[in-house]
Each structure stands twice: as structure tokens, then as C-alpha cells.
Amino acid sequence: MTGIGLAIGIPITIACSKAIVSLLYGVRPADPLSLGRLAVVVMSLVGGLAAYLPARRAAGLEPLLL
């Protein structure tokens, strides 16, 4: 699933960055450093959300009733 996401996401990211290149000062459309930072932020948010939702649901259960 990660490979599919990367195969879809990288071309979309490059296309979007080319579309807004006039708004970015001093950054190339496919700047690896910027893409890397964005990837770290997005993956951290997705990972945090993926862990938070089940943990929140499990926290609402009474442990003695299981």
C-alpha cells in the first residue's frame, strides 16, 4: 500500500509544486529537501492519527468487562 501511495503521490506532488512555483521563493519545483520534509510531516501526521483513533476507542472500554 505504501508503494501504491508513493507511486500516486510523488507525481501529484511534483505537478502541484510546478503549479505553485511562482509562490515559492528560492525553491525548485522538485526540491528533494522540501519534498523530504513534507513527506516526514505527512507521514508523522498519518501515523499519529492511525495510532490515536484505535487508542481512543480502546480507552473508552472497561477492562474488567472484557
Query: Per residue of the chain (66 residues), what is the pLDDT tens digit?
Result: 667 777 887 788 777 777 777 676 776 766 777 777 777 788 888 888 888 989 999 898 888 775
In a domain, 12, yes or no: yes
Does a structural domain hold residue 66? no
- For residue 55, the surrounding DSSP H or E stretch is helix 32-59
Residue 17 lies in a domain: yes
- Asked whether residue 27 is domain-assigned, the answer is yes
Q: What pLDDT does 4 receive?
A: 77
Q: What is the pLDDT of residue 29?
A: 66
Give pLDDT, residue 1. Answer: 64
The number of folded domains in the chain is 1
Domain that holds residue 54: 2-61
